[in-house]
Amino acid sequence: MIVRFVKMTFKPDKMDEFLQLFSEVKTKIRSFEGCEHLELMQDVNKKNIFFTYSKWVDEASLNQYRFSELFKNTWTKTKPLFLEKAEAWSVNSVS
């Protein structure tokens, strides 16, 4: 299993737009083949910083999503809302 963290820092005036977009696509992402979990989190102190936490069957499943039309369409709408470049990590559980 692969766990994926993505940190996204949004322009403060674009947060609502992002939340609306996430609301529209979260069910589609959660039902994407290989996705076992998807959660959106918000930084406690810096409200314009969000994280997605997702679990994928394997790296191939994650990559299949990353190269899908769903991802491309979502990312095309999300990217202009950023204040800073997004950061992402794929990790395996160690213990």
Q: For the segment 51-75, what is each residue's pLDDT rounded down to a tens digit?
A: 999 999 999 999 999 999 999 999 9
For the chain, the straight-line distance linking the first and the last C-alpha, in angstroms and rounded, comes to 13
Percent residues over pLDDT 70 in the chain: 100
User: Residue 32: pLDDT above 90?
Assistant: yes
Pairing of strands 49-56, 35-42: antiparallel
Q: Is the pTM of this model over 0.75?
A: yes
Strand order in the sheet with 87-91: 35-42, 49-56, 2-9, 87-91
49 is in which domain, residue-wise?
A: 2-91
**Which CATH number belongs to the domain containing residue 18 in this structure?**
3.30.70.100
| Domain count along the chain | 1
